[in-house]
Amino acid sequence: MQGIVRIRGQVQGVGFRPFVYRLAKELEIQGWVRNDSHGVEISVSGENRAVSDFLERLESESPALSRVDGIAFLEADCAESHSGFRIRESLEGAADTGISPDVSICRECLMELFDPSNRRYRHPFINCTHCGPRFTLLSRVPYDRKHTSMAKYRMCRACQAEYLDPCDRRFHAQPNACMDCGPRLSLLDWSGEIIAGDQIENALNAILSGKILAVKGIGGFHLVCDAKNGEAVKRLRHSKSRMEKPLALMAANSASLVPFAQVGEEERRLLESRERPIVLLGKRLEIEGIAPGLASFGAMLPYAPIHYLIFHEAAGRPEGTGWLEERQDLILVATSANPGGEPLATGNGEAFERLGEAADLFLLHDREILAGADDSVARWNGRSPQFVRRARGYAPSPLRLSSSGPAVLAMGAGYKNTVCATRGDEAFVSQHIGDLDNAAACCAMEKTVERLLQLSGIEPEIVVHDLHPDFHSTRFALQYSEKHGIPSLGVQHHHAHVASVLAENRFDGAALGVALDGVGLGTDGGTWGGELLCLDEKGGFSREGHFRTLLHPGGDIASREPWRMAAGALYSLGRHEEIARRYGKKGEFILALLERQFNCPLTSSAGRLFDAAAGLLGISDSMTFEGQAAMLLEAMAQGHGPVPPLENGFSVEQGVLDFLPLFDALAEMDDAGYGASLFHSTLVEGLESWILASPGNIRTIALSGGCFLNAILCSELRNRLESEGYAVLEARLLPPNDGGISLGQAHVAMRRKSCA
């Protein structure tokens, strides 16, 4: 039997060609294999049974990092005769293949890294086809060394021999190198002077003496210090102007986190997965200054050789990997190096320019990072992993859609921005870009669009955006539409939230959607955020209900000062005189605004509902980062334990869910913990009643919006709805917050096109 095999999916940079070579040799298949812009192409010639086995095992035994989306075999006479089996050079062309994300160092490389007899002992850039950077060093496909930032490094004879040997696990490992021929590590002080000596030893000594280091990893820089050194942590916070926002921890292994955090079996699996996200863990013991007032830490394990070498040095350079099974004392702060909410630093010169006031020393290397990728953040929601931020390790692996459709470019929202491009039945959602409220982030978004389209080979037929005209993502979409002569489509923010959950669950039918988040522009020009929507099969929606609108005294500033939302609630309750008594002179000022109805817009935002509750209970008067009041409120509720919901604590009338009776009760409470628990239980009961009162007989419901990162709300509402017979869809592959908006926008556009 002779013919050509075509394989689509994530099959480049994952050891697929050497796998094919070894399989062909075993089965005595003749022919060749090569990468091209569509995936992998194989010419085969052999006995019928052997070729049949070959085709079956291509998918069943494919490499661990690969993802096979399709195998096609065209039986035909080969135009050339074969003798043996070869690996051919890659073909250039328009991209139509999966893009491999970066993954953590594998076990085999770790064994070599800590083996004094191995030529890669303590090599900071060790990797193979099973591990290491890919997306962040790739300029174009196919994935060949000449298309990566490793192109400038000429391999020594030993590395070249590995690279060319199909039986070696470093065969065509594009970042392959060693101490003699690869990137160089250096330790510099803030003035740019190189510090002589062993870089890792000196870096560790600096950390233990209270210094802050800027450490260049795979997708960007971390600011690193000793997590147990309160003064160092305090200084890092001051230098980043990040006084209360939680900082991420890094430990050598899961066991090292156990004294400080609750590490269940599911959390451990997430921590130790090859993607190595930051995982939110319940606190067991407080570490000063890391996550003040919150119920959890964000922690991760090392994923780059440089990280491992620091922990190895702290352990006394033990031989082998046995030490990684034992608890280690060193715990690091490893927070993204992105001052002022800008994208994280990726270049050496950029690091000195942007991080000079924060870092005492710089642990650098000269391998260029072509695409920044922040650490992913996830938690276990009781059923499955749930993203808070999707980036390194996961992006831009495509999400499979329920059906094929037109090529769409979706620009996402203005905060927690991601962009999405679709190709057939695949959706490529970018790494987390961030809030588009500064020039650097806007520039990063535009570069991400360019790179995503180039790597995926997608030529958009339509560009989609949020309804808000002032988002940079919206302006860019309209400019892109005009420049390229393609139509644009605006999609309402909360419609996109719910559609994102439907898209990742491959659900195209009619569904109810509960969207609970901060704010988004509604189709009526109002500020929405607590919405009950009905989505149809054609990409449309209707607004079936919403939270009672709350006064927003002072406009946008109220989203940062929960006491203002509390004052607005008191005013709506008729308790005007309490505002000045509670809040003094500033309360008198706000009362004057409220009485004149000046700059006091209305919002149905669920996020502001949490803020009002936190303000009434005295848990938070002002916030230094988004969602802080809600997170503190959740932590107080978890610390107190569950309580029954407030009797008559809400009402549902003509689709409007009103929690003013609950606020009336909270305003009387001295026990903030009890009040926080009462708020959560009453909120869940109110939501259940609201949904049950919705018209129609739709029994599939999608939960989306940033409020569903609240563990109490997420689990309790899910359980209640399932007990009522609803099929509950949740965000699992993307965050429920605005990081999933771009996929939802793309889903709406594809449904409308397919049903037109």
Question: Tell me: the pLDDT tens digits for 434-453?
Answer: 999 999 999 999 999 999 99
What CATH number does the domain containing 81 carry?
3.30.70.100
Boundary (domain end) residue, out of 378, 408, 426 = 378
Is 713 part of any domain?
Answer: no
Are 111 and 425 contacting, i.e. CB atoms less than 8 angstroms apart? no
* Stretch 133-141: mean pLDDT: 91
Is 227 in the same domain as 365?
Answer: yes
For residue 637, how many other CB atoms are within 10 A of its CB?
A: 26
Q: How confident is the model at residue 97 (pLDDT cuts 50, 70, 90)?
A: low
H helix intervals, 573-652: 577-596, 606-616, 628-640
Q: Whose CA is closest to 138, among 99, 177, 165, 81?
A: 99
* Tokens 């898209």 found at: 503
Show the domain range for 60. 2-87
Percent of the chain past pLDDT 70, that is, above it, reads 98
* Stretch 695-723: mean pLDDT: 96
Is 531 part of any domain?
Answer: no
Q: Whose CA is closest to 652, among 551, 544, 495, 568?
A: 544
- Looking at residue 78, what is its pLDDT? 64
Q: Map residue 21 onto helix, strand or coil.
A: helix
pLDDT tens digit sequence for 164-221: 988 899 988 999 999 999 999 999 998 899 999 999 999 999 999 999 999 999 999 9
Is 82 in the same domain as 194?
Answer: no
* Stretch 298-317: mean pLDDT: 98
End-to-end Cα, the chain, rounded Å: 45
Is 78 in the same domain as 206?
Answer: no
What is the C-alpha separation between 446 and 436, in angstroms, rounded?
11
Is 78 in the same domain as 195?
Answer: no
What is the C-alpha separation between 13 and 131, in angstroms, rounded?
9
Is 216 in the same domain as 361?
Answer: yes
What is the C-alpha separation between 570 and 559, in angstroms, rounded?
17
Q: How confident is the model at residue 39 (pLDDT cuts 50, 70, 90)?
A: confident
Is 23 part of any domain?
Answer: yes
Is 658 part of any domain?
Answer: no
* Stretch 533-559: mean pLDDT: 95
Asked whether the predicted pLDDT for residue 163 surpasses 90, the reply is: yes
Asked whether the predicted pLDDT for residue 93 surpasses 80, the reply is: no
Q: How confident is the model at residue 342 (pLDDT cuts 50, 70, 90)?
A: confident
What CATH number does the domain containing 205 carry?
3.90.870.40
What is the C-alpha separation between 358 and 347, in angstroms, rounded?
16
Boundary (domain end) residue, out of 87, 110, 130 = 87
pLDDT tens digit sequence for 501-518: 999 999 999 999 999 999
* Stretch 274-290: mean pLDDT: 96
Report the DSSP pairing between strands 331-336 and 221-226. antiparallel
Is 418 part of any domain?
Answer: no
- Looking at residue 507, what is its pLDDT? 97
User: Residue type for 244, please?
Assistant: E
Percent of the chain past pLDDT 90, that is, above it, reads 84
Report the DSSP pairing between strands 527-535 and 261-262. unpaired
Boundary (domain end) residue, out of 325, 348, 378 = 378
Q: How confident is the model at residue 331 (pLDDT cuts 50, 70, 90)?
A: very high
453, containing H or E segment: helix 439-456
Of 64-68, 93-97, 591-595, 684-688, which gets the smallest average pLDDT? Answer: 93-97
Are 360 and 226 contacting, i.e. CB atoms less than 8 angstroms apart? no
- Looking at residue 696, what is its pLDDT? 85
For residue 60, how many other CB atoms are within 10 A of its CB?
A: 7
Is 236 in the same domain as 351?
Answer: yes
Is 208 in the same domain as 344?
Answer: yes
Are 241 and 225 contacting, i.e. CB atoms less than 8 angstroms apart? no
Asked whether the predicted pLDDT for residue 334 surpasses 80, the reply is: yes
Is 78 in the same domain as 201?
Answer: no
Quote the pTM value.
0.92
Q: Which residues contact 654 (CB under 8 A, 6 or more apart)?
A: none
DSSP track, 537-568: TTS-EEEEEEEPPEE-TTGGGGGT-HHHHHHH
* Stretch 141-170: mean pLDDT: 92
Is 79 in the same domain as 224?
Answer: no
Q: Whose CA is closest to 606, among 676, 539, 706, 508?
A: 706
Is 10 part of any domain?
Answer: yes
The token pair that represents 752 in the structure block: 């409308």
Is 7 part of any domain?
Answer: yes
What is the C-alpha separation between 637 and 293, in angstroms, rounded?
12
Is 250 part of any domain?
Answer: yes
Q: How many domains does the chain have?
A: 3
User: Residue 11: left if φ>0, alpha if ψ -120 to 50, beta else—which one?
Assistant: alpha
What is the C-alpha separation between 603 and 590, in angstroms, rounded?
17
Q: Which residues contact 282 (CB under 8 A, 6 or more apart)?
A: 261, 262, 295, 296
- Looking at residue 667, what is its pLDDT? 97
Are 224 and 200 contacting, i.e. CB atoms less than 8 angstroms apart? no
Backbone angles phi, psi at 714, to 5 degrees: -60, -55
